């Protein structure tokens, strides 16, 4: 069992986020942010630092940070959404954004030469840091496909460069966007409107090469025939030069951002559920809390997701005028995560820093479709991450312990019947399903990590119902809106909404993941302040976005 110090220590995040019922300050506030995910607190920190604004962040749950938060059991802690981050080396775009929102107080540790291993059947393919390394390795694995590999990497670079102009168009005021937007988006949309598979099958007929190139599809939750090639290329480019993990674990992200918000006179409140956005004469003028209280501010920023914002937080008549038919927008996939705790260190067990992506066969769409139709079919993908091996500070906090996260994708409908049951009070049938799924995931884990068999101390499974409880996403989705080709052409997915004073932030504004959600915060703050904050942050105006 963990030390008394571990059990009773008060996390830094609890010191910087006070319960709503204990802090009813009414401001005045310059802006209110709904949600404390990285997109929400990132936007708040930038508004404070670059705009001098007093920002109130309201989090409905008892722990702040969204998917950057952690949970604990005696002797252990697990991240719930931060598994690795690209472009976090000194001088890279995402590192610069994190330094801006944390005042440079967040440290990063490299995952090393190999950040991902793609396992298809009995074959393993390593993804090594550095474009030249990846090129050489792919040509070694597929010597007959050298030309296709060169063309593929050139296209990834082209999409990454074009993404800057595409994201820039999102923050322009409407009149300017109407004139300049189509030209800025054109190169990006040429790829965004096509599926990943259609683009890759123009390059090669080698299905195993396509399977390896798309082996990170779980990072955005759609297999190649369904995903936009743009998101595939953005993610591939994001990790091209390697991957990193926050020193001290995912909890350090919120703990490093909160002081920047507070330094500008802002606050973060937890157990603070917003029931609606207050509208007056077409303007967003504040928020209504679940207890009926109204907190006013001239700016409201929603990190609740586009669908939740328009379908739950706005008055129905207002939402219908702004959002008459969003049939092109659909939620991303749901997932399971198995959290494993071991009474041995990562070094003792030989756990790697690199992630494992495990697939039963090379046709990702086939296994994905089979799993959605039949809950007993082979799991479409199993992702295994080793946070205790990635974090050089973990051994100091939890000596002699190690942790593993195991993720797969499932359909929401298999769990919808329990959507209205209470957390930790769900019926026996739900627990029985969890036990069955846990056993299936462990079977995969033991096949690839036989050394941990018999050494597991803690083993807990979260389901889409858990995700719904904590994130408030209706279908327990992990990545907000699905990254289909239709998504990238939707005009609603930009920081500025049709309602004056109401802005959007987070992954729906940009792309999924912690880095994508943070860039959504950068875009949001840029739109509010009418300032290209990417240029201010990175001092390289040509780089705008994840590319």
The label of the residue with tokens 């990497």 reads: 153
Six-digit token pair at 76?
A: 């252990």
Contact criterion met (CB below 8 Å) for 365 and 510: no
The label of the residue with tokens 């997109």 reads: 39
What is the pTM for the complete model shown?
0.93
Six-digit token pair at 196?
A: 């990943």
pLDDT score at 545: 41
* Cα-based torsion angle of the residue sequence 66, 68, 71, 72 in order, rounded to the nearest 10 degrees: -150
Six-digit token pair at 54?
A: 């007093």
Tens digits of pLDDT across the chain (547 residues): 222 222 333 345 545 789 998 887 768 999 999 999 999 999 999 999 999 999 999 999 999 999 998 889 999 999 989 999 999 999 999 999 999 999 999 999 999 999 999 999 999 999 999 999 999 999 999 999 999 999 999 999 999 999 999 999 999 988 888 888 899 999 999 999 999 999 999 999 999 999 999 999 999 999 999 999 999 999 999 999 999 999 999 999 999 999 999 999 999 999 999 999 999 999 999 999 999 999 999 999 999 999 899 989 999 888 887 764 555 688 899 999 999 999 999 999 999 999 999 999 999 999 999 988 887 888 999 999 999 999 999 999 999 999 999 999 998 888 889 988 877 788 899 999 999 999 999 999 999 999 999 999 999 999 999 888 777 787 888 898 999 999 998 888 999 999 999 999 999 999 999 999 999 999 999 999 999 998 889 764 333 344 4
pLDDT score at 546: 45
Q: At what angle do helices 174-192 and 146-171 cross, to 10 degrees?
A: 160
Question: How many Å apart are CA 365 and CA 367, to the nearest integer?
Answer: 6
Pairing of strands 502-504, 267-270: unpaired
Spatial strand order of the sheet with 283-289 comes to 274-280, 283-289, 294-296
pLDDT score at 422: 79
pLDDT score at 473: 80
Q: Which domains does the chain have, with CATH numbers?
A: 12-105+247-329+477-538 (3.50.50.60), 112-241 (no CATH), 334-410+416-462 (no CATH)
Question: How many Å apart are CA 469 and CA 478, to the nearest integer?
Answer: 12
pLDDT score at 326: 56
């Amino acid at each position: 069992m963990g030390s008394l110090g571990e059990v009773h220590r008060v996390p830094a995040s609890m010191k910087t986020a006070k319960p709503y019922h204990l802090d009813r300050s009414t401001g005045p506030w310059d802006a209110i942010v709904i949600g404390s995910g990285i997109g929400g607190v990132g936007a708040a920190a930038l508004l404070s630092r670059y705009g001098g604004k007093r920002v109130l962040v309201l989090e409905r749950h008892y722990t702040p940070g969204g998917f950057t938060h952690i949970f604990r059991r005696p002797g252990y802690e697990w991240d719930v959404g931060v598994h690795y981050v690209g472009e976090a080396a000194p001088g890279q775009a995402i590192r610069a954004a994190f330094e801006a929102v944390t005042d440079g107080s967040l440290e990063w540790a490299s995952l090393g030469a190999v950040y991902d291993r793609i396992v298809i059947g009995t074959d393993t393919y390593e993804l090594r840091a550095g474009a030249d390394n990846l090129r050489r390795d792919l040509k070694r694995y597929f010597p007959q496909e050298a030309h296709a590999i060169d063309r593929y990497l050139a296209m990834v670079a082209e999409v990454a460069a074009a993404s800057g102009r595409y994201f820039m168009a999102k923050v322009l005021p409407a009149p300017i966007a109407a004139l300049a937007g189509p030209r800025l988006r054109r190169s990006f949309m040429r790829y965004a409107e096509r599926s990943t598979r259609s683009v890759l099958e123009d390059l090669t007929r080698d299905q195993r090469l396509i399977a390896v190139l798309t082996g990170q599809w779980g990072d955005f939750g759609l297999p190649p025939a369904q995903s936009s090639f743009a998101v595939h290329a953005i993610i591939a480019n994001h990790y091209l030069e390697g991957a990193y993990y926050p020193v001290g674990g995912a909890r350090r992200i919120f703990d490093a951002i909160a002081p920047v918000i507070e330094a500008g006179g802002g606050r973060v409140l937890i157990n603070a559920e917003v029931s609606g956005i207050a509208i007056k004469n077409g303007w967003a003028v504040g928020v209504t809390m679940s207890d009926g209280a109204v907190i006013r501010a001239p700016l409201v920023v929603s990190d609740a997701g586009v669908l939740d914002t328009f379908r739950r937080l706005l008055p129905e008549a207002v939402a219908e005028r702004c959002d008459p038919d969003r049939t092109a927008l659909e939620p991303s996939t749901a997932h399971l995560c198995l959290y494993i705790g071991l009474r041995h260190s990562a070094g003792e067990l030989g756990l790697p820093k690199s992630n494992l992506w495990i697939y039963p066969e090379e046709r990702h769409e086939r296994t994905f479709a089979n799993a959605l139709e039949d809950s007993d079919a082979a799991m479409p993908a199993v992702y295994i991450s080793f946070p205790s091996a990635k974090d050089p500070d973990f051994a100091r906090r939890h000596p002699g312990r190690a942790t593993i996260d195991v993720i797969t994708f499932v359909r929401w409908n298999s769990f919808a019947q329990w959507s209205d049951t209470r957390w930790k009070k769900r019926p026996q049938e739900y627990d029985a399903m969890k036990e069955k799924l846990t056993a299936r995931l462990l079977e995969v884990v033991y096949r690839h990590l036989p050394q941990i068999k018999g050494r597991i101390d803690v083993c807990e499974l979260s389901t889409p119902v858990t995700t719904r409880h904590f994130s408030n996403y209706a279908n327990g989705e992990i990545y907000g809106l699905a990254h289909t080709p239709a998504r990238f052409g939707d005009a609603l997915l930009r920081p500025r909404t049709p309602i004056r004073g109401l802005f959007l932030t987070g992954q729906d504004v940009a792309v999924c993941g912690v880095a994508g959600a943070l860039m959504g915060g950068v875009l949001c703050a840029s739109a509010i302040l009418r300032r290209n904050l990417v240029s201010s942050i990175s001092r390289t105006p040509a780089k705008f976005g994840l590319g």
